[in-house]
Amino acid sequence: MRNYFATLLLIGLFLSANTVRAIENFSGNFIGKLGSKTEVIFSLKSSNGKLTGFYFYDKIGIEIKLAGEVINGNAIIYELDDQNVKQAKITGKLSANGFSGKWESLTAKKTFPLQLKSTSKAIPTLPKNLIGTYQADERDKCALNIAITKSKGEYFYHFKNLKRSLNGKVTFSRSLDENLVYINFHGIEWEEDSGDVTKEDNENSVVDNGLPSVVQGLLSDGEIAIQNTGNAMNRYVKISQCDLKFIHLKRIK
């Protein structure tokens, strides 16, 4: 009987040791929520217990650097700014299936629960050469260029055409399902938006009459593609100076 229990104990210790080694040497992606509503995406890599990676808010799409360690499944991870200064502390239980713990600000009195589950989906990455000036093809007769810059971990744009000169913030929408990245230019008001003509008048009446103020484009390496106009059933024009359904901007420098 003693040998039986000793064998069970050894098996348990062996399985536990293998689990610890697996957690201390792995890489994976996770999706979940910070607090009750804020959706986040994490990418973590552990090598001999040393954790590195990043996460981003789903609505912003800008990576925030992470560094820490995991010991016996207990993780301590620090959120770093663009100068590698610690901004927040993440603690909890990490496994190959997910994470359960809390996020705590180191600069303000804020603490939120953090729940993550693993995903097999790849995280689409931002182009390496994202910063620069993008210009419409001269053959399209669309005098438009957008300059993208980065400062203190945030992205900004300068929009210029014959009618408008605007500055604003840039965010990104990363679709794990499509494996695509969309770029969002905040503060560029559409020129026209008649809405969905298939809706009844009383349905349209409850919609805010203000024009949308975010222009979105499909982002790839060195190019941004913006759908500029809708169709007969959903009429809109984002940039009227470009008489094109799709505006293709290419990075020139």
Question: Is 23 a residue whose pLDDT tops 60?
Answer: no
Residue-level pLDDT at 74: 93
Cα separation, 167 vs 79, whole angstroms: 29
Cα separation, 72 vs 53, whole angstroms: 19
Distance of CA 86 to the CA centre of its chain: 20
DSSP three-state, residue 177: coil
Give the confidence band of 19 by pLDDT, cuts at 50, 70, 90: very low
119 DSSP assignment: E
Residue-level pLDDT at 100: 97
For 185-225, what is the HEC assignment?
A: EECCCCCEEEEECCCCHHHHHCCCCCCCCEEEEEEECCEEE
Return the closest-CA partner of residue 41 out of 60, 22, 68, 69.
60
Return the closest-CA partner of residue 191 out of 165, 163, 171, 170.
163
Cα separation, 111 vs 113, whole angstroms: 7
Residue 237 near residue 120, CB atoms below 8 Å: no
Instruction: Between 11 and 109, name the one with better pLDDT.
Output: 109
Residue-level pLDDT at 196: 64
Of 74-83, 103-112, 187-196, least confident by mean pLDDT is 187-196
Residue-level pLDDT at 49: 87
Average the pLDDT over 217-245 and give the result. 91
What is the side-by-side strand order in the sheet with 192-196?
192-196, 234-237, 229-231
Compute the mean pLDDT over every residue in the chain, rounded to the nearest whole number. 86
DSSP three-state, residue 182: strand
Residue-level pLDDT at 241: 86
Cα separation, 13 vs 9, whole angstroms: 6
Q: What is the pTM of this model?
A: 0.83
Question: Is 236 a residue whose pLDDT tops 90?
Answer: yes
- Render pLDDT for 96-132 as a digit per residue (tens, 0 to 9): 899 999 999 999 989 999 999 999 999 999 998 999 9
Cα separation, 87 vs 102, whole angstroms: 14
Q: Map out the domains of the chain with their CATH numbers.
A: 25-119 (2.40.128.120), 132-251 (no CATH)
Give the confidence band of 197 by pLDDT, cuts at 50, 70, 90: low
The phi, psi pair for 18, rounded to 5°, reads: -65, -40
Of 144-148, 198-202, 232-236, least confident by mean pLDDT is 198-202
Element (H, E) at 115: strand 111-119
Alpha helix (H) ranges present in the chain?
A: 2-24, 201-205
Cα separation, 123 vs 63, whole angstroms: 11
Q: CA gyration radius for the chain? A: 24
Share of residues in the chain with pLDDT > 90 (%): 68
Return the closest-CA partner of residue 99 out of 49, 47, 29.
29
